[in-house]
Amino acid sequence: MMIRNEERVARFSFEERAIHWLAALSFLYAALTGLALWSPRLFWLASIFGGGNTVRGWHPWGGVIFSLTLGFMFRNWARQMRLDAEDRAWLRQAHRYAMHDEEGLPEAGRFNAGQKMLFWTQSTSALILFFSGIILWFPETMPRSLRLSAVLIHPIAAIISIGGIIVHIYMGTAAVPEAFRGMIQGWVRPGWAASHHPKWYREIKRR
Ligand code: HEM
């Protein structure tokens, strides 16, 4: 990661951004079609995506694409997302971050501890959604006990995942607009990098 000039700090490579937005699109598709299939009250969502039969046929493929892209995201970021002692101290005081009372909070590296938690929550739920989804896709070939647990586990994992992404979308757009630019154009302002990810900013300045 290099500083291109005084105004711009490279934040995400093209590959990182492409994988992220493919994950985002496939997630939104799988989540909205999944909600349509899950509850009769939400079945109206199916009409946006071509009706009940189309949604029943394509929802699993949306899920497969999402799981695959998350696999690539995992390969790119898993090492950087490991939580260290400072991250754990940050998490204990995360309410102060939410209240913009950040003085004295451990400094964040490329990702703060909240972002790391999102990564691990989404990776775990993607794995659970993938395997329980396969069971629900081919129910006639699965033992009854597996089918019953998948019926329960698949929507629970989906709800946790959707809840996390709602917070994530708010944080990545309205709450921290500069972060959104980073994920679209790949770069951020040095001042933002220094205040939101000071440890990371010092590291890339040294390179
Ligand atoms: C659909 C709308 C979404 C928006 C607007 C969005 C926005 C963003 C932004 C702006 C960042 C960069 C944060 C930074 O520079 O510090 C980011 C990072 C990230 N996104 Fe998304 N994202 C979306 C969906 C998703 C989905 C569906 C997933 C995976 C399930 C995901 C997983 C991640 C992860 C793991 C990171 C790195 C850690 C973090 O910043 O939280 N995103 N996203």
Give the residue numbers marked as catalytic: 168
Q: pTM here?
A: 0.92
> Residue 202 Cα, ligand 1 centroid: separation in angstroms?
23
- Judging by DSSP bridges, how do beta strands 9-10 and 187-188 pair with one another? antiparallel
- Tens digits of residue pLDDT in 185-203: 999 999 999 999 999 999 9
Contact 161, 153 (CB under 8 A): no
Query: Is 114 near ligand 1, meaning CB less than 6 Å away?
Result: no
Domains and CATH numbers, the chain: 9-206 (1.20.950.20)
**Would you say the CB of residue 188 lies under 6 angstroms from ligand 1?**
no
The sign of the torsion formed by the CA atoms of 44, 49, 51, 52 equals negative
Q: Going by CA atoms, what residue is nearest to atom 43 of ligand 1? A: 172
188 beta partners: 9
- Could you tell me how many residues make up the chain? 207
Distance CA(137)–CA(135), nearest Å, equals 5
**How remote is the CA of residue 36 from the centroid of ligand 1, in Å?**
24
Tell me the pLDDT band of 95, cut-offs 50, 70 and 90: confident
